[in-house]
Structure 1
Amino acid sequence: MKQLLVIGYVWPEPNSSAAGRNMLTLLQFFQQQNYQITFASPAAESPHRFQFEEWGIAKAEIELNNESFDHFVSALNPDVVLFDRFMMEEQFGWRVSKHCPNAIKILDLEDLCSLRNARQLALKQNRTLNDIDYKSELALREIAAIWRCDLALVISSFEMELLQTKYSLPAEKLFHLPFLLDEMPEPASWQTYDDRAHFVTIGNFRHEPNWDAVLYLQQKIWPLIRAKLKHAEMHIYGAYVPKKATQLNNPKQGFLVKGWADDAEAVVSSARVCLAPLRFGAGLKGKLFEAMLVGTPSVTTPIGAEAMHADLTWPGAIAQTDAEFAEAAINLYQDKSVWQQAQQQGKTLLETLYLAEPHINSLKQSIKLIEENLEDFRNRNIIGAMLQHHTMKSTQYMAQWIEAKNKNT
């Protein structure tokens, strides 16, 4: 049986973030391909982490800058190593290459961290989101990690194009893997317009775009909605709610910070409209995908909808300004026929773009092609080889220096 080693930036929390749910999809994929999986991470455990041991997946705790990982990975001798975000490739990629040179290295980007950070900086500096630094230190680190791996999983079609046009990455190193849906939800199970009430948003508060969206919603958009809908409520859910967020709770204004949701699907499915005024970010937005899954129309921004609907109609509205956002939200909330049409548009999006089978079959073939032609594949990747050589040396020496320093303290 083939061995897969997953090196996680964090332990997967499917009830806390879209990244956690996406990781479970990848684990299921490799299990279906008959891989024995070990999930390892240097992160501290959370009470919300998924108990993947129930799936027969082994758990391993690893340390940064410690040669114990060398012994661990040599003994495991994985056929494939999946790095959860580029920071894990930076920390452990050189060790994998040194001790398991024939292991296929796959990088799961989730979203382009450098793009998200550059957009956040542009917002803070009152620049447009198109006026960003594509050659920041973070961007160069992230792109270098892609070059050093055999394949990068890219969740956004926008980012697929960006990586090829801005950074000249070859298409054979990139694989577009959006959110995946094993089967279509049954619309008959969706709650009706009349059975629903109020607005909802949900998201992990440790993710900066989510906190910014909640704050912006409270300061700019909700007052406009509340002025027209006197009895409507805005329900805010999310993991790891900080004190600054709970202080926004205002029952008199119908702005309710509810915190952790034991059943995210239930709270989104009982709301009439999902609001996501995201002003920066990258990748695909889990809250908007989840809204489609339970038949909840949504209002978002161009950033929120980016790469999520191709040329199909959005299941709700995409708004450019605060006034447009509030007007669209009010219209969806009050007009049953508009709401029902938006719900059906969400169903069309799901069945057109997100059904798993074609994506899974293509990923299976891509990995097989690399496996059967690994030497030729790497011989063509001269940039990756150069980065591997120099990065291995610099990262190796830095890691060994930190390790020696830790031993002496």
Structure 2
Amino acid sequence: MRTLLIIGFVWPEPNSSAAGGRMMQLISLFQQQGFSIVFSSPAQDSDFMIDLAQYSVLKRSINLNCSSFDVFIKELNPTIVLFDRFMMEEQFGWRVAENCPAAMRILDTEDLHCLRLARQNAFKEKREFQISDLLVEEVAKREVASILRCDLSLMISEFEMELLQNIFKIDSRLLYYLPLLLHTDQISDLEKSPSFEDRKDFLFIGNFLHVPNFNAVQYLKETIWPLLKKQFPEAILNIYGAYPSQKVLQLNNVKEGFLIKGRADDAMQVVKNSRVVLAPLRFGAGIKGKLLEAMQCGTPSVTTSIGAESMHANLSWNGFIEDNPVVFAEKAIVLYQDEKLWLQAQKNGIKIMEHRYLKPLFEGDFKERIGELLLNLEQHRLNNFMGELLQHHTLRSTKYMSKWIEEKNR
């Protein structure tokens, strides 16, 4: 039986973040192709990690900078190794290449980290983000090198694929578009969904370990919510998210209707019971799981151009996309109060999901791409000379740094 080894940055927590849900989708796709799955990670176990055994996935803890991994991977001899984010490829990619050179190496980027960080730095410096910022972003050098060293990188954003090809001149054959995926039965049946009248309150939801989410909540607190509350005094905003810090919790203000609720026991139910999702993201990358989840729940949203980036193509958004905070607040109130507009926004969300995220749209082509690469891996690598060059040099520098750390730790 063919084996897929996943090297995870963390253990999957699908109820805490879109990244955890994405990983479980990848596991399902490879299991459908007949792969047995081993999920490994150097991360500590968490209280909210999924029980992988329930999904017929073998769990294995691994150590950073330790030759025990070499023994482990040689014995496993996987057909494919999937790195969860470029940091895992940096740590373990050279060991995979050295011990299992015939194994296909796939990188799941999650989002383009260098894009998110370059935008974040521009925001901190109070200036407009420029595409040229990517060329001086230190993480870009590491991330692009990782993409080049791998046989295939999975991308969830078409915008980011274009950046890699146009700015960094990455060969399109090294990239594969695979967004967050939905089963047909995951798209809300509007007739069974809570009605406009049965829903109440605004909602923000997002993992607070993710800096763009905390920044969005600060933006709501300091700028948008006072504007909205002035025009709509009875408005309530419920803020949910995993791993809220003390900085997040202290933003709670009952008098202002700004309520920090922490982790949701059932995120989908919380979204379904809300009338409008607010997501004023000022920097970030990838596509936003919270906004796709809102569509699933039949809940319209108001977000920014960063929030909606690469999510809807030329289809109408399920609500409004606004970057001006005054207009953002106004549109949020209109969407909350106008049932006809709200129902149309809900339908727009269904259309986006049906045309952009249904699993049947992607699973067949993905299987073909993996099969084709496995059959032609040697030629594929010959065509990727820059990747082979980086593999040659970085394998050595990373290898000896890791061995030095291993010796130092003894």
**Pairwise same-fold verdict (TM > 0.5):** yes
Matched, 1:55 2:55: yes
Pairs within 5 Å for 1:113-262:
113-130=113-130, 133-135=133-135, 136-183=137-184, 184-262=187-265
Quote the offset at 1:131 in angstroms. 5.4
Separation (CA, whole Å) in 2 of partners of 1:299 and 1:132: 29
The alignment partner of 2:234 has SS state of coil
Name the amino acid aligned to 2:177: H
Deviates most, 58-67 or 354-363: 354-363
Deviations 1:204-233 (A, max 9, x none): 000000000001101100111111222121
The alignment partner of 1:206 has SS state of coil
Quote the offset at 1:261 in angstroms. 0.2
Name the amino acid aligned to 1:12: P
Note the residue ranges of structure 1 that are not aligned, 5 or more in a row. none
The alignment partner of 1:253 has SS state of coil
Deviates most, 118-127 or 356-365: 356-365
Quote the offset at 1:190 in angstroms. 1.2
Deviations 1:53-74 (A, max 9, x none): 1111100000100000000000
Identity level (%): 53
TM-score, normalised by the number of residues in structure 2 = 0.98
Kept in 2, the 8 Å contact 1:8–1:41? The answer is yes
Quote the offset at 1:179 in angstroms. 1.0
Separation (CA, whole Å) in 2 of partners of 1:133 and 1:92: 28
Name the amino acid aligned to 2:301: S
The alignment partner of 1:187 has SS state of coil
Separation (CA, whole Å) in 1 of partners of 2:325 and 2:70: 53
The alignment partner of 1:289 has SS state of helix
Runs of 4+ aligned structure 1 residues displaced above 4 Å come to: none
Quote the offset at 1:182 in angstroms. 1.3
Quote the offset at 1:121 in angstroms. 0.1
The alignment partner of 1:333 has SS state of helix
Matched, 1:363 2:366: yes
1:372 paired residue number: 375
Separation (CA, whole Å) in 1 of partners of 2:213 and 2:323: 18
Deviations 1:65-91 (A, max 9, x none): 000000000000000000000000000
1:27 paired residue number: 27
Kept in 2, the 8 Å contact 1:42–1:62? The answer is yes
Name the amino acid aligned to 1:127: R
The alignment partner of 1:232 has SS state of coil
Deviates most, 4-13 or 359-368: 359-368
2:389 paired residue number: 386
1:331 paired residue number: 334
Matched, 1:283 2:264: no
Name the amino acid aligned to 2:7: I
Matched, 1:302 2:320: no
Quote the offset at 1:371 in angstroms. 0.5
1:17 paired residue number: 17
The alignment partner of 2:350 has SS state of helix
Name the amino acid aligned to 1:103: A
Separation (CA, whole Å) in 2 of partners of 1:173 and 1:187: 39
The alignment partner of 2:60 has SS state of strand
Deviations 1:233-281 (A, max 9, x none): 1000000000011101000110000000010000011000000000000
Separation (CA, whole Å) in 2 of partners of 1:375 and 1:245: 50
The alignment partner of 2:191 has SS state of helix
Note the residue ranges of structure 2 that are not aligned, 5 or more in a row. none
The alignment partner of 1:6 has SS state of strand
Separation (CA, whole Å) in 1 of partners of 2:350 and 2:378: 43
Quote the offset at 1:380 in angstroms. 0.7
Kept in 2, the 8 Å contact 1:119–1:132? The answer is no
1:348 paired residue number: 351
Deviations 1:288-332 (A, max 9, x none): 000000000000000000000101111100002110100000000
Deviates most, 71-80 or 125-134: 125-134
TM-score, normalised by the number of residues in structure 1 = 0.98
Separation (CA, whole Å) in 2 of partners of 1:195 and 1:117: 40
1:106 paired residue number: 106
Quote the offset at 1:132 in angstroms. 5.1
Q: How many residues align?
A: 407
The alignment partner of 2:82 has SS state of strand
Kept in 1, the 8 Å contact 2:188–2:298? The answer is no
The RMSD of aligned alpha carbons is: 0.8
